[in-house]
Amino acid sequence: MAQFLLVHGAWHGAWCWKHVTESLIRAGHSAHAVTLTGLGERSHLLHRGIDLETHIQDVLQALDAEEMQNAILVVHSYAGMLGTAVADRRASRLKHLVYLDAVVPKPGESWSSTHASATQKARIDAAAESINNSFPPPDPAVFGLSAQGYEWVQRQQTPHPGGTYQHVLNFDAARVASVPRTFINCTVPPLATIDVARRRVMDPQFWDGLWQQNSRVIEMKTGHDPMISAPTELTALLLACAEA
């Protein structure tokens, strides 16, 4: 039995993994989806003091509370920052790290580091103007969603804590690279804020060549929220990661 720990990206919550967690459990595995502080059903906890370390601790605490060993950690979008930190601090507890159309940082970067200046300004300004230091979710159409998937995400998304945006993450790339990794590249349509990560995972010099060790890239011809737009296909890929 494999143990999956699933971490959502910005504006989302554990709710977005519903179809995938149900499928993984039906297949005989353990699957636990984390909701990060201030988001999803924990949006009532949103406050100005939430930062990247808050969310890193959310994931570490879930890993510990679920008593996971050899976990398959699946991190979506923004949560690539969190998965990188967890692999740095708990490499021995992870069997596989899946970056699902996710940020892949360099040491000393923040989530904002790879974004266009206009995106940075819009999010920083919105957080500064809000009462709780947060910025609002985008239209789900940018994730390639339509019909029921679009409506579900539009109903469920919540503002994201602004303190996570410019918080720098320091880590040992060699330690993270010791964990087998898969980057799932969602290409139809590609989300612009993940473009830098897409280039990095194909670059033989990324992390001074360490990224290429124990890593692979898989393409999914769907949008940025494959747990909603293509849950069956995503579940199959995650099960393959458990067997790798």
Report how far residue 211's alpha carbon sits from residue 199's, in angstroms, rounded to the nearest whole number.
12
Question: How many domains, the chain?
Answer: 1
Here the tokens at position 232 are: 């069956």
Q: Which of 30, 43, 77, 215 is the catalytic position?
A: 77
List, for residues 165-221, the tens digit of each pLDDT value. Answer: 999 999 999 999 999 999 999 999 999 999 999 999 999 999 999 999 999 999 999
Structural domain boundaries, residue 188: 3-243
Residue with tokens 């296909």: 233
Instruction: Please return the burial class of 67, using the count of CB atoms within 10 Å of its CB with bins 0-12, 13-18 and 19+.
Output: exposed
What integer pLDDT is reported at residue 242 of this predicted model? 87
What integer pLDDT is reported at residue 244 of this predicted model? 75
Classified as helix, coil or strand, 237 is: helix
Residue with tokens 């636990």: 32
Q: Is 112 a catalytic residue?
A: no
What integer pLDDT is reported at residue 243 of this predicted model? 84
Which parts of the chain sit beneath pLDDT 50? none
pTM: predicted TM-score of the whole model, two decimal places? 0.97
CA-CA distances (angstroms) from residue 1 to 5, 25, 56, 59, 242?
Answer: 13, 10, 26, 21, 9
Q: What is the CATH number of the domain that holds 68?
A: 3.40.50.1820
Supply the DSSP symbol for 50.
-
